[in-house]
Amino acid sequence: MSKDVRVIANWKMHKTIDEAIDFVQGLRGLIQLTYIAMPSTILYAVSQKKPPMVTLGAQNIYFESQGPFTGEVSAEMVKDAGAEFVILGHSERRMIFHEDNSLIHKKIKHALHAGLQVILCVGETLSEREAKTTADVLKKQVLECLLELTDEELSQITLAYEPIWAIGSGSPATAQMAQETHAMLRALISEQWGAQIAENLYIIYGGSTKPNNVQELVEQKDIDGVLVGAASLDIDTFMQIIQNAGKINS
Ligand code: PGA
């Protein structure tokens, strides 16, 4: 089965309502689905003005629907505001906000239960790669975060391989290095959930994706798309990424 390349923007803590509406209206001519994860504060306003090919997502949720959890938002709340997916397990949440695999697992279960798709991020540090422990680190993250998920639940997951040393560094993984890691992740999913689920699963790459490296990345057999941080903030740069990623489909 050949898949359409999936391009997902991760805006992190950027953009006001007006800036975001300007941006998505600039994507009006798009003919392929494009995903943007944005701050929850702007989701609703953007959802009222976005073109149909743009799908909105959140960047975090808590694992309860409501209650005394000051400062948190629930899956139901971001969905109500227009989100169709949520990014979970991003390395910034793991490192700055001390989220571990067990917390991420609870968030994944809750997000799926509420009807959100999930982009699960996994990735190793530079010292883990240098110590040749990348496979072990990723295996632990994947198996603990996706613990006992059903086949049906797995179909709502996109796995994002984001080597931490490549995020925001300007030094992406080479296409070959990313492909090797993606192949390893797909083999791991196949072992646990079977070959068909592994084949259908989107495994996307993130970390310093730019217009000039996206095509080579998505040409790799096991790289089904990209999760784009810094380069998704400027509309012209992001459009170039979408176009260059799309070349492989044509
Ligand atoms: P970057 O971020 O493209 O700025 O490296 C990617 C991410 O953190 O998802």
User: What would the pLDDT profile of 180-209 be if each residue is shown by its tens digit?
Assistant: 999 999 999 999 999 999 999 999 999 999
Percent of the chain with pLDDT over 70: 98
Q: Which residue has the tokens 């944005």?
A: 38
Strand 34-37 to strand 6-10: parallel, antiparallel, or no bridges (unpaired)? Answer: parallel
Mean pLDDT along residues 96-114? 98
The letter for the amino acid at 91 is S
Catalytic residue among 110, 124, 162, 182: 162
* Cα angle: 62, vertex 205, 39; to 5 degrees: 35
- CA 51 to chain centroid: 21
Report the pLDDT value the prediction gives residue 88, as an integer from 0 to 100.
98
Residue 167 CB less than 6 A away from ligand 1: yes
Across 74-97, average pLDDT: 98
Write the single-letter amino acid at 229. G
- CA distances to 4, 10, 121, 228 from 56, in Å: 18, 10, 17, 14
pLDDT at residue 9 greater than cutoff 80 = yes
Nearest alpha-carbon partner for 205 in 229, 169, 234, 170? 229
Q: Which atom of ligand 1 is nearest to the CA of 87?
A: 9
Q: How far is CA 66 from the centre of its chain?
A: 25
Q: Ligand 1 pocket, 230 CB below 6 A?
A: yes
d(CA 229, CA 119): 14
Our answer on whether the CB atom of 14 is closer than 6 Å to any ligand 1 atom is no
pLDDT at 54: 97
Whether 206 is in the pocket of ligand 1, judged by its Cβ within 6 Å, is yes
What is the C-alpha to C-alpha distance for residues 209 and 241, in angstroms, rounded to an integer? 8
Tens digits of residue pLDDT in 128-169: 999 999 999 999 999 999 999 999 999 999 999 999 999 999
Check pocket membership of 229 for ligand 1, CB cut-off 6 A. Answer: yes
Residue type, 164: I
Q: Please give the pLDDT value at position 155.
A: 96
| Per-residue pLDDT, 182 | 98
Considering all CA atoms of the chain, what is the largest pairwise distance in Å, rounded to the nearest integer? Answer: 51
Task: Dump the DSSP string for 79-105.
Answer: HHTT-SEEEES-HHHHHHS---HHHHH
- Rounded mean pLDDT of the chain? 96
What separation in Å is there between the alpha carbon of 240 and the centre of ligand 1? 16
Q: How far is CA 175 from CA 7, 93, 96, 222, 228, in A?
A: 16, 26, 28, 10, 15
User: Cα(116)–Cα(164) distance, rounded to whole angstroms?
Assistant: 25
CA distance 75 to 116: 7
Buried b (16+ CB within 10 A) or exposed e, 7-16: bbbbbbeebe
Q: Check 90, 105, 110, 182 and give the catalytic one.
A: 90
pLDDT given at position 250: 44
How far from 82 is each of 77, 78, 222, CA to CA, in Å? 9, 6, 30
pLDDT at 192: 96
Distance 171 CA to ligand 1 centre (A): 11
89 lines ligand 1 (CB under 6 A): no
At residue 31, the pLDDT reads 86
Q: pLDDT at position 247, please? A: 79
Residue 162 in contact with ligand 1 by CB distance below 6 A:
yes
Q: What's the 67 CA to ligand 1 centre distance in angstroms?
A: 32
pLDDT over 70 at 41, yes or no: yes
Tokens coding 121 = 């991020």
Please tell me the distance between residue 207's alpha carbon and the centre of ligand 1 in angstroms. Answer: 5
Per residue in 219-232, pLDDT (tens digit) is 999 999 999 999 99
Question: pLDDT band for position 5 (50/70/90)?
Answer: very high
pLDDT band at 1 (very low <50, low <70, confident <90, very high): low
Active site residue 110: no
Q: Going by C-beta distance under 8 Å and a sequence separation of 6 or more, which residues neighbour residue 235?
A: 23, 26, 27
In ligand 1, which atom is closest to the CA atom of 10?
A: 9
Instruction: Using a pLDDT cut of 90, give the percent of the chain over it.
Output: 94
Q: Please indicate whether residue 232, judged by its CB atom, sits closer than 6 Å to ligand 1.
A: no
Mutate to test the pocket of ligand 1, among 162, 169, 237, 238 (most ligand atoms within 8 A of CB): 162
Q: What is the mean pLDDT of residues 33-44?
A: 97
Active site annotation includes 92: no
